[in-house]
Amino acid sequence: MMLIYKDSLSSTIFAAIVFAVAALTDLLDGYIAKKKGLVTDFGKIMDPVADKFLILTAFMVFVQMGVLQAWMVVLICIREVAVTFSRVARLRRGQVIAAEKSGKIKTVSQILCISIVLIFLILEKSNFAQGWSQSVENGWGLVINILMFATVILTVNSGVSYFFNLRKTAASL
């Protein structure tokens, strides 16, 4: 957040690097944990929470900057909070619910969307982008809005899938 708010090309590039490193280390951590059999209940809960913190912070900053539409981020926040509270409630009853495939796809789409926005912000601040016509900037805005809309659909869908599967599991107990 601090890097983006500095509003310079170098700080925006550094923000993109920090985000990329965070996203890649999260992927690597999950891969190593599964490959080496080091998956823990703590990790099943905290890894998605850390993902949510990283992603929601970026989305909220982008809304404040006027890059993303607030209603899209609000829907994503509602899904993330609802699923997280559900997981915590289940954890209190001794049940650990790991992320589903649709949730992982959702996370990848969110990371991709944030990465595209960061690339746009870098290009916007760079000498390369000087002199772009308004239509090119609107084109980027359109690409970002379409990608974000798809991300919202995947996010809401994964939330519906999570609660549907949770209900199915509860009914079979």
Q: What is the DSSP string of 103-153?
A: HHHHHHHHHHHHHHHHHHHHHHHSGGGTT--HHHHHHHHHHHHHHHHHHHH
Judged against a pLDDT cut of 70, whether residue 19 lies above it is answered with yes
Residue type, 39: V
Tens of pLDDT, residue by residue over 77-91, are 999 999 988 888 887
Among candidate residues 51, 50, 164, the one with its CA nearest the CA of residue 109:
51
Q: What confidence score (pLDDT) does residue 172 get? A: 62
104 contacts 128 by C-beta, under 8 angstroms: no
> d(Cα 86, Cα 92) in Å, to the nearest integer?
10
Of residues 33 and 171, more confidence is placed in 33
7: confidence class by pLDDT, cuts 50, 70, 90: confident
- Report pTM: 0.85
User: In this predicted structure, which of 44-48, 82-86, 151-155 has the lowest mean pLDDT?
Assistant: 44-48
Average pLDDT over residues 70-99: 87
| E-state strands within 30-119 | none
- Sorted by where each begins, the domain ranges of the chain are 2-172
